[in-house]
Amino acid sequence: DVKVTQSSRYLVKRTGEKVFLECVQDMDHENMFWYRQDPGLGLRLIYFSYDVKMKEKGDIPEGYSVSREKKERFSLILESASTNQTSMYLCASSLEVAGGRRTDTQYFGPGTRLTVL
Amino acid sequence: AQSVSQHNHHVILSEAASLELGCNYSYGGTVNLFWYVQYPGQHLQLLLKYFSGDPLVKGIKGFEAEFIKSKFSFNLRKPSVQWSDTAEYFCAVNAGEYGNKLVFGAGTILRVKS
């Protein structure tokens, strides 16, 4: 079974703090993704990575950055946390198919509920 | 712009009732289609997916979905729901021009009354 783990289930930070969210997958997947999940908005893609050291912006990248130094690990960084970044953050991974032109099933971690005060 | 629409945000059903959750997308080309489910307190997990072939797809726990290309739809169905189907359901689309990105609908919260 694919396993995607996230470093924290719950996190409380103060406005202006730098926040690191870590994600690790154990199935040698090429693709990794960071989403935020908000009620009534579904999942929105923040950033994704299709290879080590490669990253692409998703739909809502503002205020976030990412790092992928190893294939199994994908980090989301909030450079200066703000209250509007209070949300559930989900990490996912998937195999690459069709030379990167498609995604196969994405496997999700348990999520990190971040509260910024 | 790319979009996925789920018609109902909240659905309440009694046990044994039939379920149909609507999903429409706005891409004209080849698509891969997914339904994910998130049970209370659990990970988001795959319910079923459509890549090609038979447009009627069967998934886990008795769920099925039908891809109707002419209607840009991928509705989820279950003939008889159980209390344990209480969850949030998300439709997601992978469109060719967007590579390996998924676009999710806003989700439908299903509550099944026992």
Q: A28: alpha, beta or left, given left = phi > 0 and alpha = psi -120 to 50?
A: left
Looking at residue B23, its amino acid is C
Q: Between chain A and chain B, how many beta carbons pairs sit less than 8 Å apart?
A: 60
Residue B28 confidence (pLDDT): 74
pLDDT tens, B48-91?
999 889 999 999 999 999 999 999 999 999 999 999 999 999 99
| pLDDT (tens place) for every residue of chain A, 117 residues total | 669 999 999 999 999 999 999 999 998 998 999 999 998 899 999 999 988 999 999 999 999 999 999 999 999 999 999 999 999 999 999 887 666 556 678 999 999 999 999
Higher-confidence residue: A99 or B107? Answer: B107
Find which of A4, A38, A43, A95 to mutate to test the B interface (most B CBs within 10 Å of its CB). Answer: A43
Element (H, E) at A5: strand A4-6
Of A34, A38, A68, the residue nearest A53 (C-alpha): A68
Residue A40 confidence (pLDDT): 87
List of chain B residues whose C-beta atoms are within 8 Å of the C-beta of residue A33: 102
List of chain B residues whose C-beta atoms are within 8 Å of the C-beta of residue A94: 100
SS3 B14: strand
Which of the four pLDDT bands, split at 50, 70 and 90, describes residue B96? low
SS3 A20: strand
Residue B102 confidence (pLDDT): 87
Whether the predicted pLDDT of B97 surpasses 80 = no
Neighbours of A18 (CB within 10 A): 10
Would the CB atoms of A106 and B102 count as touching at under 8 Å?
yes
Which of the four pLDDT bands, split at 50, 70 and 90, describes residue B94? confident
Closest-approach residue (CA) in chain B for A99: B99
